């Protein structure tokens, strides 16, 4: 158009801007708008809405606000779509306060809100755990008859309650739908079924599946996968397989996720041989397997101590053309002998797989077990983001090697970095100093632990109590016992 000196047409220009925005070519889209104006082709609300949507999708919401201001200068007023796009953009960016300001500006500009406006807000609040705020908006608008809610609105509220383990509240919203004449859809039922399974009320989920059928709704793969997973988690493999059979008999196609759920259920419930048979059938039937399925079987083998078989399957994964992921390497590093694990670490780096905290912790733990503390420290120092568990792993290594001062240095480094020590940190150090006969420092650490509001564990109790009794600090020993009874702290056995 520019080369041929063709004056832009509004419809053609809007289509061009939309195409550029779809492909995230926002600079060119904005230049097209400017070109339109210079050629006397005035943009309209559709032009600006398209651009605003493009900027919001690319997380450039503040640019969207600038476009709204530009619209006003051009004498073009934003409509409901304009404001909804901006509200959604700010919610996606986690800036709910700004979204509320945009909503107020919307009201001040006499732009009517629609059901989409409310759904955006409710969905964001439910997703971010602000379920009470969402419920206040929901109830307020319902009482004022301001808006007739649709299925999406109710689904957002049901999902919010289910995600926060408030299944009974979710069911009350579900019942409310019927009284308001709003019909639930498959998503509504799937959300509730998921809530039932999360709360280990799987039988109620099955009843919802039956209710779907009575209402003429067809359950989909998600419905069955959720219930099968629920039964596998509770250890009821018979019910899980019965549902799998029902699923296929009703013409609902199991996918790779379904089979992965069943494989994991078998492995987690001590049925590795059955899982291996199922996996063999899947491979022989030329089913498209993914890395996640291999990971399930590799993990099952590693847990069962079948490390050579796990290595063979890891090799098969590579030969099949699939790419192992960080979970694959984490399992192989964690369960393998140190020599093999040390070779896997550089291999995953070469493949462009970024190690995570579990990778580093496994490497540090393995090196500490072999008393290779200098190498463990090198791995530790190479980490950008160290967690409390990472510090605990290396502190434990130092204390086991009776290098308690090095462990204490790490403890001080945690404090400098703003990482809060937990009961495992304190207990490891207390035990370490007790082992080298320095009860005074052990007691100092214990007292700091108490002053920081960290409850004792049974292991802390066993380490500190004899020393307190021998020093006739019986009052403090009794106080510690009371503290232990108040708190139920599960402290893993030392590595």
Work out the number of other CB atoms within 10 angstroms of the CB of residue 438.
Answer: 15
Q: Is position 331 within any domain?
A: no
Q: What is the pLDDT of residue 492?
A: 41
Query: Tokens 């964001």 — which residue?
Result: 124
Cα separation of 201 and 62, whole Å? Answer: 45
Find out whether 49 and 85 touch, Cβ atoms under 8 Å.
yes
Q: Is position 81 within any domain?
A: yes
Q: Which residues contact 461 (CB under 8 A, 6 or more apart)?
A: 480, 481, 484
DSSP per-residue codes, 16-33: HHHHHHHTT-HHHHHHHH
What is the domain count for the chain? 2
How many whole angstroms from its chain centre is CA 194?
A: 16
Cα separation of 227 and 243, whole Å? Answer: 8
CATH number assigned to the domain comprising residue 82: 1.25.40.10
Query: Within 13 Å, how many C-alpha atoms sit on residue 352's CB side?
Result: 1
Structure token pair of residue 434? 């007790």
Q: What is the pLDDT of residue 488?
A: 43
Structure token pair of residue 251? 């013409």
| pLDDT lower than 50: segments of the chain | 1-2, 4, 6, 472, 487-495
Domain boundary among 113, 146, 167: 113
Torsion sign (Cα): 354, 360, 366, 370:
positive
Find out whether 307 and 301 touch, Cβ atoms under 8 Å.
yes
Q: What is the pLDDT of residue 146?
A: 66
pTM: 0.78
Find out whether 331 and 342 touch, Cβ atoms under 8 Å.
no
Q: Is position 119 within any domain?
A: no
Cα separation of 159 and 123, whole Å? Answer: 9
Q: Is position 7 within any domain?
A: yes
Cα separation of 44 and 48, whole Å? Answer: 7
Q: Is position 150 within any domain?
A: no
Cα separation of 211 and 175, whole Å? Answer: 13
Torsion sign (Cα): 251, 257, 258, 263:
positive
Q: SS3 of 150, please?
A: coil
Q: Is position 484 within any domain?
A: yes
Q: Is position 281 within any domain?
A: no
Structure token pair of residue 364? 């540090």
Domain boundary among 94, 113, 132: 113
Domain boundary among 86, 113, 140: 113
Q: Is position 390 within any domain?
A: no
Q: Which residues contact 370 (CB under 8 A, 6 or more apart)?
A: 338
Q: What is the pLDDT of residue 328?
A: 96
Q: SS3 of 145, please?
A: coil
Q: What is the pLDDT of residue 476?
A: 54
Q: What is the pLDDT of residue 35?
A: 83
Range of the domain at 424: 414-495
Find out whether 367 and 352 touch, Cβ atoms under 8 Å.
no
């Amino acid at each position: 158009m520019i080369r041929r000196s063709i004056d832009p047409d509004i419809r053609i220009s809007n289509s061009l801007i939309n195409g550029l925005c779809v492909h995230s070519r926002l600079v060119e889209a904005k230049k097209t708008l400017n070109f339109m104006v210079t050629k006397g082709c005035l943009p309209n609300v559709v032009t600006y809405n398209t651009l605003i949507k493009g900027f919001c999708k690319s997380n450039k919401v503040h640019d969207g606000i600038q476009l709204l201001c530009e619209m006003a200068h051009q004498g073009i007023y934003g409509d409901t779509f304009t404001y909804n796009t901006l509200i959604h953009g700010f919610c996606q960016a986690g800036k709910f306060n700004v979204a509320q300001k945009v909503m107020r500006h919307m009201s001040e500009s006499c732009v009517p809100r629609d059901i989409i406006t409310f759904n955006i807000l409710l969905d964001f609040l439910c997703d971010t755990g602000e379920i009470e705020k969402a419920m206040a908006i929901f109830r307020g608008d319902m009482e004022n008859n301001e808006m007739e809610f649709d299925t999406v609105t109710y689904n957002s509220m049901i999902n919010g309650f289910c995600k926060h383990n408030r299944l009974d509240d979710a069911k009350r919203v579900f019942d409310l739908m019927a009284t308001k004449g709003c019909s639930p859809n498959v998503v509504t039922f799937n959300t509730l079924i998921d809530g039932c399974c999360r709360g280990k009320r799987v039988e109620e989920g099955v009843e919802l599946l039956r209710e779907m059928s009575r209402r003429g709704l067809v359950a989909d793969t998600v419905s069955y996968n959720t219930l099968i997973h629920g039964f596998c988690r509770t250890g009821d493999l018979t019910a899980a397989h019965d549902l799998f059979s029902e699923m296929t008999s009703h013409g609902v196609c199991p996918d790779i996720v379904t089979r992965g759920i069943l494989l994991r259920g078998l492995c987690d419930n001590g049925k590795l041989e059955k899982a291996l048979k199922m996996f063999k059938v899947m491979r022989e039937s030329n089913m498209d397997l993914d890395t996640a399925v291999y990971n399930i079987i590799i993990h099952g083998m590693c847990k069962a101590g079948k490390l050579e078989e796990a290595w063979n399957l890891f090799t098969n994964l590579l030969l099949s053309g699939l790419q192992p992921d960080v979970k694959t390497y984490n399992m192989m590093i964690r369960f393998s002998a140190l020599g093999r694990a040390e070779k896997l670490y550089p291999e995953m780096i070469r493949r462009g797989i970024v190690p995570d905290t579990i990778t580093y912790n496994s490497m540090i733990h393995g090196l500490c077990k072999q008393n290779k503390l200098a190498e463990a420290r090198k791995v530790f120092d190479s980490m950008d983001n160290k967690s409390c568990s990472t510090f605990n792993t290396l502190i434990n290594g130092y204390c086991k090697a009776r290098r308690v001062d090095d462990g204490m240095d790490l403890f001080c480094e945690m404090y400098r970095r703003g990482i809060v020590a937990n009961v495992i940190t304190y207990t490891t150090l207390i035990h370490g100093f007790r082992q080298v006969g320095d009860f005074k420092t052990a007691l100092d650490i214990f007292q700091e632990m108490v002053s920081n509001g960290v409850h004792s564990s049974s292991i802390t109790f066993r380490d500190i109590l004899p020393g307190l009794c021998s020093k006739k600090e019986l009052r403090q020993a009794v106080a510690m016992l009371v503290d232990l009874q108040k708190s139920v702290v599960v402290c893993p056995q030392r590595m």
